[in-house]
Structure 1
Amino acid sequence: METYLVLRKPPEQRIGFTRSAIRGGSATIAVERIPGHALSDLKKDPDVLVVTPPMATALISPRQSTQEHPPTGSAWGIASVEADQSPYTGEGVVVAVLDTGIEKTHPAFAGMDILEEDFTGEGIGDHDGHGTHCAGTIFGRDVNGQRIGIARGINRALVGKVIGQRGGDSQMIFDGLQWAMRERANIISMSLGFDFPGEVQKKVDAGWPADLATSEALEAYRGNIRLLDALMGFFKAQSAFDAAPLVIAAAGNESRRAVNSRYKIAASIPAAADGVISVAALQSSGSLYEVADFSNSHAQVSAPGVNVLSAWLGGQLKAIDGTSMACPHVAGVAALWWQHLREKRSPNLASAVTSHLTTHARSDCFVSGFDSSDYGHGLVTCPR
């Protein structure tokens, strides 16, 4: 028997269920061991939306910055998104970070209410540094006089550990997304991706022919995309109750623009899923900005992703590069917009924040013209 993820309709949508839709209802993703002969019948069940094997996931791994960050002063991304000019701090907004965990004792998170949950089986905490860095950019407090966080007024955060030292899989991400929803996250930040090449290589290493390994991995990838799209659809259905979180994800680091201007890889899953805000990485070029060499294309918005200074393991600060570093900038900016629009009593906050992120993104600050396939709507900008 093989392991599958099975997405079923919410109870209120199932055949024979007569109650009207209930607030907070959601689909159920179950992990089931299914024999091969029963798989076809399960897929025909009208109450089953998706059946797919889980697939490997991986960090959108950061790159060591080749630039030296000055020993004092704020991280440069703070000013680039105009967080230093915004009167908003993210107070009262709840942000979830699905990543490698967090070093909760870091000075950047002093005094915060941080709820940790482990989905890897390895226990809470961060042994990598990636999750700590992303969290620092979103809501980190100043460290030794240096500002690293966009939304320093956030007091409650959720940190789901969905990738550990032994990697992760899509089940962990789906579990993390549903957990964040149950815990009433307003914004969810993910700097990770579904590892299609790794899934193929794993099967080839196990002795599978390359064409069969690719076919099986593609089937799993397609099923996981369908499951993610369905889950995002259920999130969106909660927007009428203002219970829908805004989901933001890094576009990926596989492009190699410096080698060839056409060597641009499209944004990967989950960033490319319907309803997810995908983020490209920028670097400074004098007083202007340009897309980073590694940044994947067709993202919706862009943010600083090169030489980004933030929290690191051991209570330290470290500057690294990647769309992983751009994504939390957008999550932090989104938190400021969330606070701003909530104070104005705007309905359907997740959709309203999405609209303001895109309509207020700047497209006049890039070198040599504007190409939406590189920058999306442009550089995100905080409310003022």
Structure 2
Amino acid sequence: MENLKQKIFIGLLFIFLFTPYFLFIEVPTKSPTYFTPISLQNGTYFDNSILTSEISPTVNVVEQKISQKFQKLLKTSDLTQKIKCFILLNEQPTNTIARQVRDNPSSQDRVLLRKTIYHETRKKVLPMQNDLVPLISSLDGKILRHYVVINALLVEIPLNALPELAELYQIARIEPDYKLQIQLEYSQPIVTNTTSPGWDYTYNGTGIVVAVCDTGIDKTHPNLVGKVINESSFVLGEPTDDLDGHGTHVAGIIASNDTTYHGIATNVSLVNVKIMDISGTGDTSNLVSGIEWLLLNTSHIADVINLSAGTASVTADGDSVLAKFIDAIVSSYNIVWVNAAGNGGPFPQSIEVPGDALNCISVANFNDADSLNPATWSISSGSSVGPTDDGRKKPDIAAPGTIIWSTIHNWEGANPDFAFKSGTSMASPHVAGAAALILQYLEINHASLDSDWYALTTKGVLLHTAYDLGTSGYDYYYGFGAVDMGSVWNFFQTGNFENETLEPSHGICKYSLNLTTPQIINTTVVWNRYASTDFNYIYFSNLANIDLRLETTGGQLISSSTSNIDNVEHISYNASAGTYYLFVEVMDFKNNEEQEYIILSDTSITFVEKIRTWTALEIITLVCVVGIVATIAISVFLWYRSRKTSPKEETPLDVISTRPEWSPAPEY
């Protein structure tokens, strides 16, 4: 019996001590033999846990790293021809560094803050990039540019060298330097139609800077004079002046001060980032270089970036270098990025890159029929239609973009000062101007809100207050609806928005709503995809999965929004009077240490609590600790019981006392 107890005890102890080991140990695999790891200058190696001997490097790794366009060229073209390409590296430290810099109490100045993030990121990524130089040179390649915001290189290299490059575990993606193209096919009063004169007379964009990434801006136009505060051209051989006309037209939609054709935010400041040439096209590398210049070399903060351009040559799945770059800009530098959705309609899944970026505001184009009556509005047949190629909700919002009159570049002499153009190119700057007004309002009326939240709040407000067009609720033509600054104004007077950060240990936030009368509970949650180091060669960073649900006080679920691929959740529920609870739950943090979000509600909401959540590791650890304690307690109990019930052992005195008495031997 005692032997059996000992075996049981040892068995229990073994289970509780070694359960974590068996659950978390990695199964050993044979090391890959088809590449030579490169030692980084910091003395570390990148460990590729994806490449195993069971995976073919040619099919499952190399081909997934190389863009489809290059894969086709490898099969059909001259392999010795030199091509220009982006090489995206695996480690993307921008977001981590941005968090560290923003957490520093001394980092208050926004210009200095952004430059510090840039410089600290540069220190981190340059050694990684420089480690690739010898190999690229040995393959007859040449590095044209180092990038910082996104850890990437622009390289000129023979086509046949791409498979060898793709075998390196440091490299996540190889893509062409795609050509961006302008998105061309009486608007202002529609966007700023309000029940209050506040937008027209109080808020006009003062103090807000909008960067226009386009064909340039004619800053001498009578209605744009004095608005361009900085400029630079990234088009080889062309000045900052607009030789095409598209950029000046876009700038006028944002900022023209003409009494008839006036812009959305007539007093904003503009930064002219020229990335496209006289033909209306430009390389992706021009844009990336232009944005890095904007962050580093200008003394002015760009609050909003407008890009009325895109390309249909790339799969719109959020995985392109450009989409990743934009997501990094928005999440790490807190800039509102507004992008034309594209002119690929009316066909489904015609969103163009980078209008597919998760963190941007992707804008569709509707025809306002020169009327303030929404019943007369209709989606433009050329406006790109969602979803994205990976099934996400895009576009986000719609704005007037058909027959839009604005400033033109060749206004001199007898030429008119204004002309009309059509396309999502014209819709996008309407939203950029609207964003400028919202940012000005936030800075004046919500000074207590950390400026790090302004960009995400602006996106949330625009989507939450959009005027529903087309199919009820979200649809792939209008997105959440038409931009409606009247509704924005009303929301700021009576609505509620809260910013919050959740961590894996507290992954649920609870809010209460007390309705005294029946009304519609209209709630939206918006968050960003982070530029993270926790991703593999296919995905840049993992989007946290957040769900939104509405429950009664008794715990009955009455409405929910639970997409696992989008970064916007929205519910609209016609509720009777009473008390309700809203729950924002991070279902999966995707290795992020924390997740920020904005919640917006037409109805007053009250924060109740953050609810404790348990990770699998925490649960297993707790079970193990309890098990070990229980095992020790049981063993002590068994030992004590065995001591108490076992027969009393004989002592030496007992033995002596039980011996026969000694007597002397008889004498003879």
Q: TM-score range by the shorter chain?
A: 0.7 to 0.9
Task: Give the Å deviation of 1:136.
Answer: 0.4
Matched, 1:112 2:227: yes
Amino acid at match of 2:480: H
Q: Choose which of 190, 199, 202 in structure 1 pairs with 2:307.
A: 190
SS in 2 for 1:5: strand
Query: What residue is the counterpart of 2:56 in the other structure?
Result: none
Amino acid at match of 2:86: L
Q: Is the 8 A contact 2:318 2:356 kept in 1?
A: no
SS in 1 for 2:419: strand
Query: What residue is the counterpart of 2:435 in the other structure?
Result: 334
For residues 194-213 of structure 1, what are the structure 2 equivalents within 5 Å? Answer: 194-196=311-313
Query: What residue is the counterpart of 2:329 in the other structure?
Result: 235
| Structure (1 or 2) with the larger CA radius of gyration | 2
Counterpart-to-counterpart distance in 1, 2:358 and 2:474: 22
Q: Choose which of 79, 86, 99 in structure 2 pairs with 1:5.
A: 86
Counterpart-to-counterpart distance in 1, 2:265 and 2:241: 22
Counterpart-to-counterpart distance in 1, 2:426 and 2:330: 26
Counterpart-to-counterpart distance in 2, 1:124 and 1:132: 11
Counterpart-to-counterpart distance in 2, 1:293 and 1:35: 41
Task: Give the Å deviation of 1:230.
Answer: 2.5
Q: Deviations over 1:203-227 (max 9, x none)?
A: xxxxxxxxxxxxxxx6xx5899421
Q: Is the 8 A contact 1:5 1:30 kept in 2?
A: yes
Query: What residue is the counterpart of 2:407 in the other structure?
Result: 311
For residues 139-178 of structure 1, what are the structure 2 equivalents within 5 Å? Answer: 139-142=255-258, 145-154=259-268, 156-166=269-279, 167-178=281-292
Amino acid at match of 2:282: G
Counterpart-to-counterpart distance in 2, 1:12 and 1:367: 41
Counterpart-to-counterpart distance in 2, 1:305 and 1:11: 36
Q: Choose which of 202, 222, 247 in structure 2 pairs with 1:131.
A: 247
Amino acid at match of 1:303: A
Counterpart-to-counterpart distance in 2, 1:101 and 1:10: 34
SS in 2 for 1:23: helix
For residues 1-384 of structure 1, what are the structure 2 equivalents within 5 Å? Answer: 1-8=82-89, 23-24=117-118, 25=121, 26-36=149-159, 38-62=161-185, 75-82=186-193, 86=199, 87-121=202-236, 122-142=238-258, 145-154=259-268, 156-166=269-279, 167-182=281-296, 183=298, 184-196=301-313, 225-238=319-332, 243-256=333-346, 263-264=347-348, 266-285=350-369, 287-288=373-374, 289-298=377-386, 299-315=395-411, 316-343=417-444, 344-345=446-447, 346-347=449-450, 348-363=453-468, 366=469, 372-382=475-485, 383-384=488-489
1:42–1:146 CA distance, 2 compared to 1 (3 A) = same
1:36–1:369 CA distance, 2 compared to 1 (3 A) = closer
Task: Give the Å deviation of 1:190.
Answer: 0.8
SS in 2 for 1:297: coil
Q: Deviations over 1:178-205 (max 9, x none)?
A: 3334343111111111142xxxxxxxxx
Is there any run of 5+ residues in structure 1 with no aligned partner, and where?
63-74, 197-217, 257-262
Q: Is the 8 A contact 2:177 2:283 kept in 1?
A: yes
Query: What residue is the counterpart of 2:526 in the other structure?
Result: none
1:273–1:371 CA distance, 2 compared to 1 (3 A) = closer
SS in 1 for 2:117: coil
Amino acid at match of 1:334: A
SS in 1 for 2:310: strand
SS in 1 for 2:368: strand
Counterpart-to-counterpart distance in 2, 1:358 and 1:60: 22
1:85–1:381 CA distance, 2 compared to 1 (3 A) = farther
RMSD: 2.8
Q: Which moved more, 1:77-86 or 1:311-320?
A: 77-86
Counterpart-to-counterpart distance in 1, 2:334 and 2:474: 31
SS in 1 for 2:463: helix
Q: Is the 8 A contact 1:81 1:303 kept in 2?
A: no
Name the structure, 1 or 2, with higher relative contact order (CA <8 Å, separation 6+): 1
Q: Deviations over 1:101-131 (max 9, x none)?
A: 1111001112224322111112221111111
SS in 2 for 1:302: strand
Counterpart-to-counterpart distance in 2, 1:76 and 1:135: 14
Counterpart-to-counterpart distance in 2, 1:4 and 1:47: 16
Task: Give the Å deviation of 1:374.
Answer: 1.4
Counterpart-to-counterpart distance in 2, 1:55 and 1:225: 14
SS in 1 for 2:339: strand
Task: Give the Å deviation of 1:351.
Answer: 0.5
Q: Which moved more, 1:39-48 or 1:326-335?
A: 39-48
Q: Is the 8 A contact 1:9 1:27 kept in 2?
A: no
Counterpart-to-counterpart distance in 2, 1:116 and 1:10: 32
SS in 2 for 1:356: helix
Q: Deviations over 1:267-320 (max 9, x none)?
A: 211111221211111122552222122211231100111221110123311122
Q: Deviations over 1:223-252 (max 9, x none)?
A: 9942123313422442xxxx3211111112
Identity %: 27
Task: Give the Å deviation of 1:360.
Answer: 1.3
Task: Give the Å deviation of 1:150.
Answer: 0.4
Amino acid at match of 2:226: G
SS in 2 for 1:349: helix
Q: Which moved more, 1:279-288 or 1:80-89?
A: 80-89
Amino acid at match of 1:39: L
Q: Is the 8 A contact 1:267 1:278 kept in 2?
A: no
Counterpart-to-counterpart distance in 2, 1:4 and 1:356: 37
